[in-house]
Each structure stands twice: as structure tokens, then as C-alpha cells.
Amino acid sequence: MKLKGVNAVITGANQGFGLELAGAFLREGASICICARDGAKLAGAERGLRAINGGGRIIAKTLDVSKEAEVARFAAEAIAAFGRVHVLVNNAGVYGPKGPSEEVDSAEWVKAVEINLFGVFFCCKHFVPHMKAAGGGKIINMSGGGATAPLPRISAYAASKAAVVRYTETLAEELKEFKICVNAIAPGALNTRMLEEVLAAGPEKVGAGFYHKALKQKTDGGAPLAKGAELGVYLASPESDGVTGKLISAVWDPWRDFTAHKNELAASDIYTLRRIVPEDRGKKWS
């Protein structure tokens, strides 16, 4: 019961990774407030989660994270219901339009950025004052494949996820003195609705290379949802205190051993996004 007594808010938790994370938090003893735009799916997710007996409360509320007024109201309700929110997980996200940048619908591109980036900002903006007053907290943001490498034909997703990681690093610096840790999770290539979207779009929209990679991922099974959820539990728990401003891969990074390296992590740019210069690749151009 690593999260016994912890109250957590998880956005986009009516399916996929968000729902997996909600279940993992419950099993570890947390109380959770889940939200999503689709009320019917959210109600179904709530019913399924109630079968998990971890001792914590479950609250479910519909929310569009891209609308600040809704987020402000939701934050106030969650804080009033729990008294204290210890953990905020910004999981809600979409791929957005697929295709060459000059051909996609501009309104859909902007909407994807509003959900993926503005949604993270709005939630942080309206929960951080509470965490500051309470003396600390944990914020966990979701990265994606576009954060660390180009993602042709899914440009809104790639750009917004890279921005989320830099915002994570920036907010972590702002909140260090308030004992609020802010990190981003790269959960790996997951077989969720977003993979199905890629396959439904087809190679002419997402590109032959990315499409066939997605097809192989579906066949192979992709990264286990549980691995990302385990990392989420770790980052929400007291065990990760002091780890902040990092982009952590659930699949590839040795995060279970971070306790032995906390001082090194705090004093370095390990697990962050940085510009590569010639010297980093053994070249002397100046």
C-alpha cells in the first residue's frame, strides 16, 4: 500500500493508460478523482474501478481540460471533496489530425495543442496554489513519442508533447522550494485507442513507415500498460521525494534504483531534453 492516505487526480482516465494508472493507484491504497470528456465511458470506468478494493474513495467528473473555466471549477470541487490533493496526473491527450502539416485541418491542429499542452497548464495552474499552501505535492505529466524525436504527419501531437516536457522541467524549477516534484513519464509504445487511430488513418495519412511500425506493435503487443503504471505509482509515492524535473522512460530507465542516485539526479541534466552540439558527438567544429 505505497499510496495509502494519498489523494490523486487523474485526467483522461476513462480508458487506456489513464484507466490503468487509476487502478494501480487504487490497489496501492490511494483515493482518486478521475475525469474525462466522455461521460458514458467515464461512468463505465468508474464502475470497473469500484471492483478494486484498496480502501480508497473514487470520484468521477466529466471535464474538458482545454477549457480553463471547467478546470478551475473541477479543481475547486476535487479539493473540497478530498480536503487535500497530494498528486495531480495530467494524462488527458489526443493525437490530433494526421497528415502533412500543410494539409491538416488548422482548427483540429490547434484543438490538439489545447488539449495536450493547455490542458496540462490549466490543471497545474489551478492545483499548484493548493499544493503550495498544503506544503508539497506531486505532479506527473505524460510525455509521448513526439517529445524526443520528430513525428512526421502527427505534428500537433509531437509539438505539444515536446512542449509538455519543457514545461515540466520549467515548472519543476519554479516549485522546488515548495516541495512540489514535477516529472514526465514516457510510458512506451502502448496498444491503446491512439494506436487504433493510427491504423485506421492508414499509411497515406501517417506515412508507410509509421503505419507498418504501428501494425507490428499491435501484433507484438506493445509496451505493457502496467510498466508505466508502476512508474506512476513510484512518482506519486514518498519513495520518489526529491526526484523532479525529469523525463523518465517506464520501459528503459532504471527508475527503481533512483533512490541510490538522487543527489546525482538533482545536480545534473540527466533525463532532460537538451540541445546536442558537435562536441557531444565527438566533433570539434570550433
* Catalytic positions, written as ranges: 157
Summarize the chain as % helix, strand, coil (round to 5): 55, 15, 35
Instruction: For 90, list phi and psi in degrees, rounded to 5.
Output: -90, 90
Q: 107: which 3 cell numbers? A: 482548427
Cβ atoms of residues 160 and 113 within 8 Å: yes
Calculate the alpha carbon distances from 176 to 137, 171, 191, 245 in Å. Answer: 11, 9, 35, 9
Question: Within the chain, where are the H helices?
Answer: 16-27, 39-49, 68-82, 106-113, 119-134, 155-175, 193-201, 203-206, 208-220, 225-236, 262-266
d(CA 262, CA 278): 29
Amino acid at the residue 69: A
Burial of 84 (0-12, 13-18, 19+ CB in 10 A): middle
End-to-end CA, the chain? 55
